[in-house]
Structure 1
Amino acid sequence: MKTEPYTLPHTECWSILSQGNQQLYKIFVSVPDSPAPEDGFPLIYVLDGNSIFASFTESMNLQTRRGEITGKKPHIIVGIGYETTEPFNDSRYFDYTFSPEIDFLSYHPIDRDFPPGGGGSLFLSFIEKQLKPQIKQKYEVNTEKQTIVGHSLGGLFVLSALFTSSSSFQYYVASSPSIHWNEDFLNTAKQKFMETEPKAKLLITSGELERDHFSQMNEKAKKLNDELQTHVSAKFDSEFLEFPGEDHTTVLLPLINKTILFMNDIKQQIK
């Protein structure tokens, strides 16, 4: 019996070297198998692309088949990953944090060394100045409807990007954000952010079973959303959602489904 490798249809991947931190990134791209709208396809940028790009792509393809009925529009999906066959790479510690300080170690010491952090601004600059221009050149895109999704440290990056560069995207999805990692930086950036009038939508999510994490991940995420709710306006909105029965890993699949609704501006209550 002859066998051959399986690849996702209408996807491709290529590598790009960051000019800022000399990191080599593997870029995964899924393009809808349909004509582009007049204003181009909306975009979703997915952090930790090695681990969840394929799941996002399969879900998007399945759920947008009858978009004229469901209101779910096909998006170009851009997964940002690393040159590895593993789901995650330690370079994410540097890329997804905006401060080299690890705040939680002051109250929850861990007997291990962590990779260096604090490269978030360089990583955001890479996305803005290198990756986005290449995506715009290669594909028909709508730069006025862009989403970024990150989980855990990636969720921290999404919040930090929103607070420091709110015009970079229109939809921000922070899944189980590791607020405890760079909490001081995030609080300072949040205060400056709340003095502005941003035009963006934010979704913060977590799994119910993450309530027991030492970091108080869910509590801090909900508290952050409550604070941001005081800043809700016609241009900015935030939402917090806790998925019943899900933990830090299993939360990713319901997150994908909710994200597709969120970036299509479809309101749906999860009970």
Structure 2
Amino acid sequence: MSALRAQPDLRLRSGTALWEAPSPTHRFAQRRFDSADGLRHYRAFVAVPLANPPAEGWPAIVMLDGNAAFDDLRQADLDHVPGTVLIGIGYETGGRHDVNARTQDYTPPVPPEDRAGPDDPDPSEKVGGADIFLDLLAERLLPELAKDFSLDPARRSLWGHSYGGLFVIHALFRQPDLFRSYCAVSPSLWWHAPLMLRREETSKRRTEGQSDVVILYDVTQDPRGDERRKARMLQGRAMLAEMLGRLAGRPDIVLTQRAYPGENHGSMFQVGLRAALARDISN
């Protein structure tokens, strides 16, 4: 695995209004790193408060789909978190989403005996790399960024949408002490359902205290599309309802959930990002 390749602090070239003038609250930096097999190339976008860090270090929000997350950020969003480092974990390929890379990185491994159902993705897709990606975050990326930007390991949050939300829940079950808070937005729990329910049954528990878990989700009134898409949506709703019930009953978790009637799966990316940054996540 290659080391992080440091870059000087440069304004991000996203073309959005946020980057057209210096921010009054944050400075910006980027870091690049590679997957262990050298086939995926990542970019970490970082927004760091302009003030001096506290003695214990800054709290940080780590956002998956970092290209899209940082592209959507506005100064009004940063104003909500003047004392927090924002980290967007994205890809070098450009564009808002690297569909193939995120599919591989954000989906959990599937047991060989778990046969794909009719609503699961094409089996030719590269999937199941969530454990590898999580280890990359835990062992290389987060320690390097903590050192570079004075981050407090006890005050880290993980945010993700769709497959990213699926990864957030996977990370909660596999490494509950890695982050203090876990925010999953419209998580794709239909993925090989009921795989994540089985993972919950055998999941690890936090060593001390409780994990703050936030789940934000859309409520589409009339699912449209072909029958496969409708079936996937209905299955996702059933898995979400069951998962919320289980998490609410766990003593190691403080659960916050909020439904957004009228929003759809795609629109929840921006809605969920802004809600998390504004802490507008009450029931």
TM-score > 0.5 by shorter chain = yes
Residues 37-74 of structure 1 deviation map (CA, whole Å, 9 limit, x = unaligned): 2322101111111111233464431324xxxxxxxx52
Q: What residue number does 1:67 align with?
A: none
Mapped pair 1:98 → 2:108: yes
What secondary structure sits across from 1:39 in the alignment? coil
Normalised TM-score (structure 2): 0.78
Distance 1:18 1:254 in 2: 30
Distance 2:89 2:62 in 1: 7
**Maintained 8 Å contact 1:61/1:74:** no
Q: What residue number does 1:218 align with?
A: 237
Specify every segment of 5 or more residues in structure 2 that has no aligned partner in the other structure, as ranges. 1-12, 224-229
Question: 1:85 corresponds to which letter in structure 2?
Answer: G
Give the CA deviation at 1:85.
Answer: 2.0
Q: 1:214 to 1:11 in 2, by over 3 A?
A: farther
Does 179-188 or 157-166 show the bigger shift? 179-188
Mapped pair 1:150 → 2:160: yes
Mapped pair 1:79 → 2:88: yes
Question: 1:75 corresponds to which letter in structure 2?
Answer: T
Alignment match of 1:12 (pick from 29, 35, 56):
29
Question: 2:141 corresponds to which letter in structure 1?
Answer: L
Mapped pair 1:258 → 2:275: yes
Mapped pair 1:165 → 2:190: no
What secondary structure sits across from 2:202 in the alignment? helix
Mapped pair 1:200 → 2:219: no
Q: What residue number does 2:249 align with?
A: 230
Q: 1:57 to 1:26 in 2, by over 3 A?
A: farther
Does 210-219 or 84-93 show the bigger shift? 210-219
Q: 1:76 to 1:114 in 2, by over 3 A?
A: farther
Sequence identity of aligned pairs in percent? 23
Distance 2:115 2:182 in 1: 24
Q: Runs in 1 of length 4+ with deviation above 6 angstroms? A: 101-104, 194-198
Distance 1:170 1:191 in 2: 21
Q: 1:152 to 1:129 in 2, by over 3 A?
A: same
Q: What residue number does 1:38 align with?
A: 55
**Maintained 8 Å contact 2:60/2:151:** yes
What secondary structure sits across from 1:177 in the alignment? coil
What secondary structure sits across from 1:247 in the alignment? coil
Question: 1:78 corresponds to which letter in structure 2?
Answer: I
Give the CA deviation at 1:134.
Answer: 0.9
Distance 1:33 1:60 in 2: 15
**Maintained 8 Å contact 2:160/2:184:** yes
What secondary structure sits across from 1:206 in the alignment? strand
What secondary structure sits across from 1:132 in the alignment? helix
Please provide the CA RMSD for this pair: 2.7
Normalised TM-score (structure 1): 0.81
Q: 1:246 to 1:28 in 2, by over 3 A?
A: same
The correspondence of residues 180-199 of structure 1 with structure 2, limited to 5 A, is: 180-193=190-203, 199=210
Distance 1:141 1:57 in 2: 22
The correspondence of residues 121-160 of structure 1 with structure 2, limited to 5 A, is: 121-160=131-170
Q: 1:125 to 1:195 in 2, by over 3 A?
A: closer
Q: 1:139 to 1:109 in 2, by over 3 A?
A: closer
What secondary structure sits across from 1:15 in the alignment? strand
Question: 2:237 corresponds to which letter in structure 1?
Answer: N
Distance 2:179 2:205 in 1: 19
Mapped pair 1:249 → 2:258: no
Mapped pair 1:107 → 2:118: yes
